[in-house]
Structure 1
């Protein structure tokens, strides 16, 4: 069994689907079908009994739905700082716990209205974080739209 701690999770163990390899820098772990693994973990978290912990909420938000804290906040009608506070303190309100589970389930099952809203929020967030770099070459200016370093890191 391998104790899977990605994203700060402490309660996930893998029975198989991974390989431990020796490298010059120590042991390295590779996972078979990492996208499928992420989906399985998010499904288990969304269906677990009891309120999500802050770490579990963060995992579903970032790995499962692919949203930043401000983007999830916008989707839920609150500010991103509230999401950050819940993730850090581990105190997730019941209503938020239920809403995040529903959003994840709808997104994972391909519910078109939910997927459309989530993609629209992701697009707006990317656009806001773009920057326009204009370069002059022999008297002609050429614009180039780039994602900022913040957008690439998210």
Structure 2
């Protein structure tokens, strides 16, 4: 068995699917089909329930989201996401949301992520300055 820590997770072990060989620099391990392995790790984590900080980070990175981008999607701060990942205290609702987004993305459906992106965009627009102009035809948005 090979303890596969290269994933950033300390609880992943491989029964097979890897080869070891000696190099001038020591023993090297090559894992076959890393993308396939990461997909099955991700799906397993997303279906398991409560996530550790490292598991949360793994799924977020698999989605290609920075801490800042994920925080924006769910209405949290980047510092909050960083703290969850570092300390491992992931709020259950935020962890479940990440799992749902991950499972949808793996199935090729980005519906939930798309909705969250639209809501985040609306939140940003709420903070914009709106200027209106009174005309003979009534109030209009100023150009």
In which range does the TM-score fall when normalised by the shorter chain? 0.7 to 0.9
Query: Which residue number corresponds to residue 87 of structure 1?
Result: 85
Deviation at 1:94, TM superposition (A): 0.9
Query: Which residue number corresponds to residue 24 of structure 2?
Result: 24
Determine which of 65, 68, 80 is the counterpart of 2:66: 68
CA RMSD in angstroms, aligned pairs only? 2.1
Cα 1:105–1:93 shift into 2, 3 Å: same
Deviation at 1:46, TM superposition (A): 0.7
Equivalences for 1:46-61 in 2 at 5 Å?
Answer: 46-49=46-49, 51-61=50-60
Query: Which residue number corresponds to residue 101 of structure 2?
Result: 103
Cα deviations by residue, 1:26-85 (Å, 9 ceiling, x for unpaired): 111111111111111111111114x100011001111x2111111111111212111101
Cα deviations by residue, 1:98-145 (Å, 9 ceiling, x for unpaired): 10100100111110434657999xxxxxxxxxxxxxxxxxxxxxxxxx
Query: Which residue number corresponds to residue 10 of structure 2?
Result: 10
Alignment: residue pair count: 118
Displaced runs of 4+ in structure 1, greater than 4 A?
114-120
For the residue of structure 1 that corresponds to 2:13, the secondary structure is strand
Normalised to the residue count of structure 1, the TM-score between the two structures is 0.70
Q: Say which structure, 1 or 2, has more relative contact order (CA 8 Å, 6+ apart).
A: 2
C-alpha separation in 1, matches of 2:21 and 2:114: 40
C-alpha separation in 2, matches of 1:54 and 1:24: 36
Larger Rg: 2
